[in-house]
C-alpha cells in the first residue's frame, strides 16, 4: 500500500498493491489492521454507493457534530475528481481544499477525516463507493455550493449536472459547522 499525504493535514491518498495476471486482478481495499498502521483508527459503520452519469457533480456535503463523519472513498467504475474542503475551525488550512482523481483502474482511495466537506465530479460514467465513520443524520447535514467563488474549484468538466438541492447550498463565507 502506498500512502501520499496532502498539504492539508489529515487527508491521505491510499493506493493499494494490485495483483494482476491473465485472469484479472485482486487487491485488498480495506484492512483495519493495515489502516491503523497509517494512523486511521475510525470505526466505519456505514457504506454508501452511488452511480453517476458523466458531468454529474455531487456535493459539497458534510455532517455537523456530533454526527460528523470520516470517509474512505473510492471508485468502483470509471474516474471522478474527488474534493475535500477543510472546515475545521482551528485548522491553518480552514477553507482550503485538495482534490485527487480517483480511478477504478488504479484502485486509489481518499481518506477524509471528520471536519471536511466532500464532493466529486464524474469524469465519465462512474460508480462511487464510500465508508463512513458515523451514521447519516438528516438534521445534521450541511453543504457548500459546488461553484462557490471563494473556493474556485476546477471540477474538470463542462456543463455540470447538479441536483436542485445542491444548487441551493450556501457559500463558505459565514458557514456554521457546529
Per residue in 82-120, pLDDT (tens digit) is 999 999 999 999 999 999 999 999 999 999 999 999 999
129 catalytic per annotation:
no
* Diameter of the chain measured on Cα atoms: 54
* Range 84-118 burial, b when 16+ CB lie within 10 A, else e: bbbbbeeeebeeebbbbbbbbeebbbbbbbbbbbb
> What's the pLDDT at 175?
85
pLDDT single digits (tens) 74-84: 999 999 999 99
Which position among 30, 130, 136, 146 bears the catalytic label?
Answer: 130
- Does the annotation mark 146 as catalytic? no
Q: How many CB atoms lie within 10 A of CB 26?
A: 11
**Tens digit of each residue's pLDDT (9 = 90 or more) over 27-71:** 999 999 999 999 999 999 999 999 999 999 999 999 999 999 999
**Which residues make Cβ contacts (< 8 Å) with residue 110, sequence separation at least 6?**
11, 12, 13, 14, 71, 72, 73, 74, 82, 84, 100, 102
Q: 51, 61, 111, 118: which one is catalytic?
A: 61
The whole-chain average pLDDT of the chain stands at 95
- Written as nine digits, the cell of 32 is 483495519
- Nearest C-alpha neighbor of 70 from the set 118, 122, 132: 132
Domains delineated in the chain:
2-167 (2.60.120.10)
Residue 178 confidence (pLDDT)? 65
CA separation, residue 54 to residues 14, 78, 177 (Å): 24, 10, 30
Residue 26 has pLDDT above 70, yes or no: yes
Amino acid at each position: 500500500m502506498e500512502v501520499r499525504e496532502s498539504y492539508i493535514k489529515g487527508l491521505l491518498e491510499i493506493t493499494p498493491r494490485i495483483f494482476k495476471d491473465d485472469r484479472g486482478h485482486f487487491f485488498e481495499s480495506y484492512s483495519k489492521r493495515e489502516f491503523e498502521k497509517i494512523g486511521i483508527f475510525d470505526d466505519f459503520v456505514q457504506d454508501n454507493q452511488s452511480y453517476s452519469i458523466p458531468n454529474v457533480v455531487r456535493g459539497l456535503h458534510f455532517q455537523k457534530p456530533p454526527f460528523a463523519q470520516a470517509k474512505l472513498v473510492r471508485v468502483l467504475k470509471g474516474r471522478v475528481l474527488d474534493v475535500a474542503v477543510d472546515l475545521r475551525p482551528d485548522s491553518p488550512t480552514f477553507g482550503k481544499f485538495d482534490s485527487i482523481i480517483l480511478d477504478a483502474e488504479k484502485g486509489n482511495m481518499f481518506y477524509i477525516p471528520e471536519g471536511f466537506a466532500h464532493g466529486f465530479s464524474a469524469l465519465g460514467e462512474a460508480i462511487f463507493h464510500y465508508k463512513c465513520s458515523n451514521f447519516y443524520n438528516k438534521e445534521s447535514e450541511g453543504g457548500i455550493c459546488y461553484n462557490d467563488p471563494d473556493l474556485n474549484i476546477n471540477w474538470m468538466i463542462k456543463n455540470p449536472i447538479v441536483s436542485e438541492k445542491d444548487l441551493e447550498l450556501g457559500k463558505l463565507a459565514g458557514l456554521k459547522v457546529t
